[in-house]
Chains A and B, each alone.
Chain A
Amino acid sequence: MGALGLDLWGFIVQLIAFIIFVWLFWKFALGPITKVLDERQKNVRESLEAAERMKAEMAATAARNEEILAEARQQAGQIVAQAREASDATLARAREEAAKQSDLYLERAQATLRQETEQARQQLRQEVADLSVMAAEKIVRKNLDKAAQAALIEEALAQAGN
Protein backbone atom coordinates (compact mmCIF):
# COMPACT_ATOMS: atom_id res chain seq x y z
CA MET A 1 0.00 0.00 0.00
CA GLY A 2 2.95 2.26 0.61
CA ALA A 3 3.71 1.99 -3.06
CA LEU A 4 0.55 3.93 -3.86
CA GLY A 5 1.57 6.60 -1.39
CA LEU A 6 -0.90 5.65 1.34
CA ASP A 7 0.10 7.36 4.51
CA LEU A 8 -1.94 7.26 7.71
CA TRP A 9 -1.10 10.76 8.89
CA GLY A 10 -1.68 12.26 5.47
CA PHE A 11 -4.99 10.42 5.27
CA ILE A 12 -6.11 11.70 8.67
CA VAL A 13 -5.08 15.27 7.94
CA GLN A 14 -6.86 15.28 4.58
CA LEU A 15 -9.97 13.63 6.00
CA ILE A 16 -10.27 16.23 8.75
CA ALA A 17 -9.45 19.04 6.34
CA PHE A 18 -12.12 17.84 3.94
CA ILE A 19 -14.76 17.58 6.66
CA ILE A 20 -13.93 21.10 7.81
CA PHE A 21 -14.00 22.28 4.20
CA VAL A 22 -17.44 20.82 3.59
CA TRP A 23 -18.73 22.40 6.80
CA LEU A 24 -17.21 25.83 6.12
CA PHE A 25 -18.23 25.78 2.49
CA TRP A 26 -21.80 25.01 3.44
CA LYS A 27 -21.82 27.64 6.18
CA PHE A 28 -20.31 30.48 4.17
CA ALA A 29 -20.92 29.77 0.50
CA LEU A 30 -23.33 27.03 -0.46
CA GLY A 31 -25.83 27.58 2.34
CA PRO A 32 -26.33 31.31 1.77
CA ILE A 33 -26.58 30.92 -1.98
CA THR A 34 -29.14 28.14 -1.53
CA LYS A 35 -31.12 30.46 0.70
CA VAL A 36 -30.97 33.15 -1.97
CA LEU A 37 -32.16 30.66 -4.59
CA ASP A 38 -35.00 29.45 -2.39
CA GLU A 39 -36.04 33.01 -1.63
CA ARG A 40 -36.02 33.91 -5.29
CA GLN A 41 -38.09 30.84 -6.09
CA LYS A 42 -40.55 31.82 -3.36
CA ASN A 43 -40.69 35.38 -4.67
CA VAL A 44 -41.32 34.27 -8.20
CA ARG A 45 -44.02 31.87 -7.09
CA GLU A 46 -45.65 34.55 -4.97
CA SER A 47 -45.62 37.15 -7.71
CA LEU A 48 -47.00 34.59 -10.14
CA GLU A 49 -49.78 33.81 -7.72
CA ALA A 50 -50.44 37.51 -7.24
CA ALA A 51 -50.63 37.97 -11.00
CA GLU A 52 -53.01 35.03 -11.20
CA ARG A 53 -55.16 36.57 -8.49
CA MET A 54 -55.11 39.91 -10.26
CA LYS A 55 -56.18 38.26 -13.48
CA ALA A 56 -59.07 36.52 -11.74
CA GLU A 57 -60.06 39.80 -10.14
CA MET A 58 -59.98 41.54 -13.49
CA ALA A 59 -62.11 38.83 -15.02
CA ALA A 60 -64.61 39.22 -12.19
CA THR A 61 -64.70 42.98 -12.69
CA ALA A 62 -65.25 42.55 -16.39
CA ALA A 63 -68.08 40.13 -15.72
CA ARG A 64 -69.65 42.58 -13.32
CA ASN A 65 -69.32 45.36 -15.84
CA GLU A 66 -70.97 43.20 -18.42
CA GLU A 67 -73.78 42.45 -16.02
CA ILE A 68 -74.29 46.12 -15.24
CA LEU A 69 -74.28 46.95 -18.92
CA ALA A 70 -76.84 44.27 -19.66
CA GLU A 71 -79.03 45.56 -16.87
CA ALA A 72 -78.75 49.10 -18.15
CA ARG A 73 -79.62 47.96 -21.64
CA GLN A 74 -82.63 46.13 -20.33
CA GLN A 75 -83.74 49.17 -18.37
CA ALA A 76 -83.35 51.38 -21.38
CA GLY A 77 -85.49 49.01 -23.40
CA GLN A 78 -88.07 49.07 -20.70
CA ILE A 79 -88.07 52.85 -20.62
CA VAL A 80 -88.44 53.06 -24.35
CA ALA A 81 -91.29 50.59 -24.28
CA GLN A 82 -92.96 52.53 -21.54
CA ALA A 83 -92.53 55.77 -23.43
CA ARG A 84 -93.95 54.24 -26.54
CA GLU A 85 -96.89 52.94 -24.61
CA ALA A 86 -97.45 56.31 -22.99
CA SER A 87 -97.24 58.12 -26.28
CA ASP A 88 -99.62 55.60 -27.85
CA ALA A 89 -102.06 56.18 -25.03
CA THR A 90 -101.74 59.92 -25.34
CA LEU A 91 -102.24 59.73 -29.06
CA ALA A 92 -105.29 57.54 -28.66
CA ARG A 93 -106.71 59.87 -26.09
CA ALA A 94 -106.03 62.87 -28.27
CA ARG A 95 -107.62 61.16 -31.21
CA GLU A 96 -110.66 60.27 -29.17
CA GLU A 97 -110.93 63.75 -27.83
CA ALA A 98 -110.62 65.21 -31.27
CA ALA A 99 -113.32 62.90 -32.52
CA LYS A 100 -115.52 63.86 -29.61
CA GLN A 101 -114.87 67.52 -30.18
CA SER A 102 -115.56 67.24 -33.87
CA ASP A 103 -118.80 65.45 -33.07
CA LEU A 104 -119.63 68.19 -30.68
CA TYR A 105 -118.88 70.84 -33.26
CA LEU A 106 -120.89 69.02 -35.84
CA GLU A 107 -123.81 68.71 -33.48
CA ARG A 108 -123.54 72.32 -32.54
CA ALA A 109 -123.33 73.31 -36.14
CA GLN A 110 -126.34 71.17 -36.97
CA ALA A 111 -128.20 72.66 -34.06
CA THR A 112 -127.32 76.13 -35.23
CA LEU A 113 -128.38 75.20 -38.73
CA ARG A 114 -131.65 73.82 -37.54
CA GLN A 115 -132.23 76.85 -35.37
CA GLU A 116 -131.47 79.17 -38.22
CA THR A 117 -133.71 77.25 -40.56
CA GLU A 118 -136.43 77.45 -37.97
CA GLN A 119 -135.71 81.11 -37.60
CA ALA A 120 -135.77 81.64 -41.34
CA ARG A 121 -138.97 79.69 -41.62
CA GLN A 122 -140.55 81.70 -38.87
CA GLN A 123 -139.33 84.86 -40.49
CA LEU A 124 -140.76 83.67 -43.75
CA ARG A 125 -144.04 82.85 -42.13
CA GLN A 126 -144.09 86.23 -40.52
CA GLU A 127 -143.31 87.85 -43.77
CA VAL A 128 -145.94 85.77 -45.45
CA ALA A 129 -148.40 86.88 -42.81
CA ASP A 130 -147.30 90.42 -43.21
CA LEU A 131 -147.63 90.14 -46.90
CA SER A 132 -151.01 88.59 -46.59
CA VAL A 133 -152.02 91.28 -44.22
CA MET A 134 -150.71 93.84 -46.66
CA ALA A 135 -152.48 92.10 -49.43
CA ALA A 136 -155.66 92.02 -47.38
CA GLU A 137 -155.36 95.71 -46.63
CA LYS A 138 -154.94 96.42 -50.29
CA ILE A 139 -157.90 94.31 -51.09
CA VAL A 140 -159.94 95.95 -48.43
CA ARG A 141 -158.91 99.37 -49.53
CA LYS A 142 -159.55 99.00 -53.21
CA ASN A 143 -162.67 96.86 -52.86
CA LEU A 144 -161.80 94.59 -55.53
CA ASP A 145 -163.91 91.87 -56.98
CA LYS A 146 -163.71 88.45 -55.88
CA ALA A 147 -161.76 87.38 -58.91
CA ALA A 148 -159.26 90.17 -58.56
CA GLN A 149 -159.00 89.46 -54.87
CA ALA A 150 -158.24 85.83 -55.54
CA ALA A 151 -155.71 86.77 -58.11
CA LEU A 152 -154.06 89.06 -55.75
CA ILE A 153 -153.85 86.45 -53.01
CA GLU A 154 -152.53 84.01 -55.49
CA GLU A 155 -149.94 86.45 -56.54
CA ALA A 156 -148.94 87.21 -52.97
CA LEU A 157 -148.73 83.53 -52.20
CA ALA A 158 -146.61 82.92 -55.20
CA GLN A 159 -144.43 85.74 -54.15
CA ALA A 160 -144.15 84.29 -50.67
CA GLY A 161 -143.53 80.87 -52.11
CA ASN A 162 -140.56 82.13 -53.94
Chain B
Amino acid sequence: MDPVAAKAIGAAIAIGVGGLGPGLGIGMAVRGAMDAIGRNPEAAGDVRTTMIIGAALAEAVAIYAFVIAIIIAFVV
Protein backbone atom coordinates (compact mmCIF):
# COMPACT_ATOMS: atom_id res chain seq x y z
CA MET B 1 0.00 0.00 0.00
CA ASP B 2 1.11 3.51 -0.68
CA PRO B 3 2.55 4.88 2.60
CA VAL B 4 0.79 8.23 2.19
CA ALA B 5 -2.55 6.51 1.71
CA ALA B 6 -1.88 4.21 4.66
CA LYS B 7 -1.10 7.21 6.84
CA ALA B 8 -4.24 8.99 5.72
CA ILE B 9 -6.37 5.92 6.46
CA GLY B 10 -4.70 5.40 9.82
CA ALA B 11 -5.21 9.02 10.84
CA ALA B 12 -8.83 8.95 9.73
CA ILE B 13 -9.53 5.76 11.67
CA ALA B 14 -7.78 7.14 14.75
CA ILE B 15 -9.83 10.31 14.92
CA GLY B 16 -13.01 8.65 13.72
CA VAL B 17 -13.03 5.85 16.26
CA GLY B 18 -11.52 8.05 18.94
CA GLY B 19 -14.28 10.57 18.55
CA LEU B 20 -17.05 8.02 19.05
CA GLY B 21 -16.67 7.49 22.77
CA PRO B 22 -16.32 11.13 23.78
CA GLY B 23 -19.24 12.04 21.54
CA LEU B 24 -21.48 9.53 23.31
CA GLY B 25 -20.08 10.59 26.67
CA ILE B 26 -20.67 14.28 26.13
CA GLY B 27 -24.15 13.55 24.85
CA MET B 28 -24.96 11.60 28.00
CA ALA B 29 -23.45 14.29 30.19
CA VAL B 30 -25.51 17.00 28.54
CA ARG B 31 -28.66 14.89 28.74
CA GLY B 32 -28.07 14.37 32.44
CA ALA B 33 -27.44 18.05 32.94
CA MET B 34 -30.59 18.99 31.04
CA ASP B 35 -32.60 16.56 33.17
CA ALA B 36 -31.11 18.08 36.28
CA ILE B 37 -31.84 21.62 35.14
CA GLY B 38 -35.38 20.63 34.24
CA ARG B 39 -35.95 19.19 37.69
CA ASN B 40 -34.22 21.95 39.57
CA PRO B 41 -33.96 25.12 37.49
CA GLU B 42 -32.48 27.09 40.42
CA ALA B 43 -29.31 25.00 40.26
CA ALA B 44 -28.87 25.68 36.53
CA GLY B 45 -25.65 27.67 37.01
CA ASP B 46 -23.91 25.02 39.11
CA VAL B 47 -25.08 22.20 36.88
CA ARG B 48 -23.92 24.02 33.76
CA THR B 49 -20.46 24.65 35.15
CA THR B 50 -20.01 21.08 36.28
CA MET B 51 -21.37 19.81 32.98
CA ILE B 52 -18.92 21.91 31.01
CA ILE B 53 -16.01 20.62 33.07
CA GLY B 54 -17.22 17.06 32.65
CA ALA B 55 -17.69 17.57 28.93
CA ALA B 56 -14.19 19.02 28.72
CA LEU B 57 -12.79 15.96 30.48
CA ALA B 58 -14.63 13.64 28.11
CA GLU B 59 -13.59 15.72 25.16
CA ALA B 60 -9.96 15.31 26.22
CA VAL B 61 -10.17 11.69 25.03
CA ALA B 62 -11.13 12.87 21.58
CA ILE B 63 -8.24 15.28 21.76
CA TYR B 64 -5.84 12.43 22.52
CA ALA B 65 -7.15 10.66 19.44
CA PHE B 66 -6.71 13.85 17.45
CA VAL B 67 -3.11 14.20 18.58
CA ILE B 68 -2.45 10.60 17.64
CA ALA B 69 -4.02 11.22 14.25
CA ILE B 70 -1.86 14.27 13.72
CA ILE B 71 1.23 12.31 14.74
CA ILE B 72 0.33 9.52 12.32
CA ALA B 73 -0.33 11.97 9.53
CA PHE B 74 2.58 14.33 9.91
CA VAL B 75 5.24 12.95 12.21
CA VAL B 76 5.53 9.20 11.81
A and B touch in the complex (CB under 8 A): yes
Q: Which A residues contact B (CB, under 8 angstroms)? A: 3-4
Q: What total count of A-B pairs have CB within 8 Å? A: 5
B-side contacts of A4, CB under 8 Å: 71, 75
A-side contacts of B76, CB under 8 Å: 3
The digit string for B38-63, where 1 denotes a CB below 8 A from any CB of A, is 00000000000000000000000000
Query: Closest A-chain residue to B75, C-beta based?
Result: A3
Q: Which B residues contact A (CB, under 8 angstroms)? A: 71, 75-76
A interface: dominant SS? helix
Min Cβ gap B26→A in Å is 26
Cα distance A150–B1 in the bound complex, in angstroms: 202
Cα distance A3–B76 in the bound complex, in angstroms: 8
Min Cβ gap A4→B in Å is 7
Min Cβ gap B69→A in Å is 13
A-side contacts of B71, CB under 8 Å: 3-4
Cα distance A117–B61 in the bound complex, in angstroms: 146
* Among all A-B residue pairs, the 5 with the closest Cβ atoms: A3-B75, A3-B71, A3-B76, A4-B71, A4-B75
